[in-house]
Amino acid sequence: MQKFSGFELFRRALGGHKSWQPQWRNPEPKAEYDVIIVGAGGHGLAAAYYLAKEHGITRVAVIERGWLGGGNTGRNTTIVRSNYLFDESAALYEHAVKLWEGLSTDLNYNVMYSARGVLMLAHNHHDEISFKRHVHANRLNGVDNEWLSAEQVKEFCPPLNIRSMRYPIIGGALQRRGGTARHDAVAWGFARAADSRGVDIIQNCEVTGIRRGPGGAVEGVETSKGFIRAKKVGVSAAGHTSVVMAMAGVRMPLESYPLQALVSEPVKPAFPTVVMSNTIHAYISQSDKGEMVIGAGTDAYTSYSQRGALHVTTHTLDAICELVPQFRRLRMLRNWGGIVDVTPDRSPIIAKTPVPGLYVNCGWGTGGFKATPGSGNVFAHTIARDEPHKINAPFTLERFRDGFLIDEAAAAAVAH
Amino acid sequence: MLIIDCPWCGARPEIEFRYGGEAHIARPADPAAMSDQEWADFLYNRTNPKGLHAERWRHIHGCGRYFNAVRDTVSDFFVTTYKAGEPRPDIGESGK
Ligand SMILES: Cc1cc2nc3c(=O)[nH]c(=O)nc-3n(C[C@H](O)[C@H](O)[C@H](O)COP(=O)(O)OP(=O)(O)OC[C@H]3O[C@@H](n4cnc5c(N)ncnc54)[C@H](O)[C@@H]3O)c2cc1C
Ligand SMILES: [Zn+2]
């Protein structure tokens, strides 16, 4: 791997930047691997990277039906935070935030993690007591989160209109260590670092079947490039998880919904933080390119179409225009959708499955980008040791059978 | 926005409707007789297919009634709608 540094940039500039090599190989699949990961999103690539780095397992292939990072990883609004209510969730997301903080150095790749704060707005009494409950629960878990009055909200984020709107802002919960990261760079950084440790990333190769032996255990995967043998297969296919797991005969507690986002034309720095409002349903931050990045809620129905209805984004823009009236004059540049896999309790599943050798990481729904490094890290552990890390131990498939839901949905912290 | 054909009222815009999830999941007659796994299957596990999906809709801002539809989840095209209580029309398993 060619290291990136200021000195290297300068040295290669002298040669007209002609000596840079591609950041990863494009290998043909081998006949057999120790581990196959299905899906080269951020989560799958991170799992492959940590398998190689922390568990010494380098005979690993990541198999991707499209291009790496072309799924939800490349489509999300990149909000990173860890102020979830329940102990299990706080531990999981906080594990990820700690990794985010050192990720650029670890990967030798600038993932542009920007801890500019995530501010969740309260518009009514219910929001206020729910956020204050989160603040207290977070404090007990060592996760930063603080309550701001309406005036403090205005001071922290001056472009916000706090009063002259239908649901005025009465306060907010701020996690200062939260923020955003560059989504593509996260996929590329993990891909490059995994590739340099020997992981084969095989793009344009769809997994079409999971082959099981006479005893039921996994033997490998059928793909559009033929059969590839492996005793361990980790599925990290986000919106397509139900489809892939059905290949092994496993029914999942998942439904796949379109989730849309859109960006404005780029403008000068005008919005200092990430603002989210669950109540009037809008999320906004400004990318380093200058675009306002805006996220909507999921569409109403399950779909694999990667597009949603216009009334859903319009609804979000109505809220944005109330929150930040000067943005009414912004023109929207692009909108798109991703397919998110939603569990009944809005918490992920990172676990072994009833099929020996088959592991699954899914159910991140509308909010899994923030967990990318942490999720990959504990998923790698689960695959390598054939047992969960203590952080993901509660996030099993069996929790739905045994009644141990981690009900972030009811805790009203379902947003990104 | 989808145009959805309510079996009672005819074609109406999507915003008049609420989605009701996978159709033909009947509440078990004797829950106490079920294993935990069977109960979890009923409550939580879903087919979530990529292709034809039999699903419930409710015309909440119209007649208020539930009905079923078969929709292709790849294109969002509604193949048919039918009244609640009628069996799933026989139009194959998958659109893709
Ligand atoms: C519009 C939008 C906004 C969002 N905003 C946020 C946010 O602000 N913060 C946040 O934390 N999260 C957010 N999310 C959620 C977040 O994007 C996802 O939870 C996360 O990126 C999932 O990562 P992944 O690597 O698991 O999935 P993906 O990046 O989707 O990767 C899965 C990969 O599997 C591949 N695949 C599927 N089937 C097969 C097959 N049969 N064979 C081979 N490969 C296959 C797919 O092509 C895909 O590349 C948002 C999502 C969307 C759509
Ligand atoms: Zn009707």
How confident is the prediction for chain A on average, in pLDDT? 96
A207 within ligand 1 shell (Cβ under 6 A): yes
Alpha carbon distance A359, A200 (integer Å): 19
- Count of domains for chain B: 1
Alpha carbon distance A191, B75 (integer Å): 31
- Whether A242 and B2 lie within 8 Å, measured CB to CB: no
Q: Is residue B93 part of a domain?
A: no
**Cα B18 to ligand 2 centroid, rounded to whole Å:** 11
What pLDDT does B92 receive? 67
**Percent residues over pLDDT 90 in chain B:** 92
Q: Is residue B95 part of a domain?
A: no
With an 8 Å Cβ cutoff, the interface of chain B facing chain A consists of: 1-2, 14-15, 17-19, 21, 36-37, 39-41, 43-50, 53, 55, 71, 73-76
Residue A351, number of CB atoms within 10 A of its CB: 21
pLDDT-derived band at A202, boundaries 50, 70, 90: very high
Residue B96 has pLDDT above 50, yes or no: no
Find the domain containing B66 and state its range: 3-26+36-83
The pLDDT of A209-213, averaged and rounded, is 98
Which residues are within 8 A (CB) of A89 and not within 5 positions of it... i.e. 6 or more apart? Answer: A347, A406, A408, A413
Chain B residues in contact with A256 by the CB 8 A cut-off are 48, 73
Which residues are within 8 A (CB) of A305 and not within 5 positions of it... i.e. 6 or more apart? Answer: A258, A337, A339, B73, B74, B75, B76
**Cα B60 to ligand 2 centroid, rounded to whole Å:** 8
- Whether A302 and B53 lie within 8 Å, measured CB to CB: yes
From residue A188, give the alpha-carbon distance in Å to each of A42, A105, A150, A206, A381: 9, 14, 40, 20, 22
What are the tens digits of pLDDT across the range B38-83? 999 999 999 999 999 999 999 999 999 999 999 999 999 999 999 9
Contact of A65 with chain B, judged by CB distance below 8 Å, is answered with no
Residue A175, SS3 per DSSP: strand
Q: Any idea which residue has 């498939």 for tokens?
A: A397
From residue B78, give the alpha-carbon distance in Å to each of A121, B6, B52, B95: 38, 11, 9, 11
The pLDDT of A314-319, averaged and rounded, is 96
**Percent residues over pLDDT 70 in chain B:** 95
What pLDDT does B90 receive? 86
Q: Which atom of ligand 1 is nearest to the CA of A78?
A: 8
Q: Is residue B75 part of a domain?
A: yes
Residue A406, SS3 per DSSP: coil
Chain B residues in contact with A396 by the CB 8 A cut-off are none
Q: Is residue B40 part of a domain?
A: yes
Q: Is residue B91 part of a domain?
A: no
Q: Closest approach of chain A CAs to the CA of B75, in angstroms? A: 6
SS (H, E, C) A192-247: HHHHHCCCEEECCCCEEEEEECCCCCEEEEEECCEEEECCEEEECCHHHHHHHHHC
Q: Is residue B78 part of a domain?
A: yes
What pLDDT does A411 receive? 63
A44 within ligand 1 shell (Cβ under 6 A): yes
What pLDDT does A1 receive? 84
Residue A346 has pLDDT above 60, yes or no: yes
Chain B residues in contact with A300 by the CB 8 A cut-off are 14, 17-19
Residue A84, SS3 per DSSP: coil
Strand A218-223 relative to strand A207-212: parallel, antiparallel, unpaired?
A: antiparallel
Q: Closest approach of chain B CAs to the CA of A105, in angstroms? A: 40
From residue A18, give the alpha-carbon distance in Å to each of A192, A330, A350: 19, 39, 42
A70 within ligand 1 shell (Cβ under 6 A): yes
pLDDT-derived band at A95, boundaries 50, 70, 90: very high
| Polymer length of chain A | 416
pLDDT-derived band at A300, boundaries 50, 70, 90: very high
Question: Which CATH number fits the domain that encloses residue B40?
Answer: 3.30.2270.10
Q: Is residue B60 part of a domain?
A: yes
Residue A326 has pLDDT above 90, yes or no: yes
Residue A328 has pLDDT above 50, yes or no: yes
What pLDDT does A413 receive? 46
Chain A residues in contact with B46 by the CB 8 A cut-off are 242, 251-255
| Candidates A254, A311, A400; nearest CB to B48 | A254
Alpha carbon distance A107, A150 (integer Å): 39
Tell me which residue of A299, A298, A269 sits closest to A415, measured CA to CA.
A298
Q: Is residue B92 part of a domain?
A: no
Alpha carbon distance A249, A225 (integer Å): 22
User: Using an 8 Å Cβ cutoff, are A1 and A196 in contact?
Assistant: yes
Ligand nearest to the CA of B12: 2
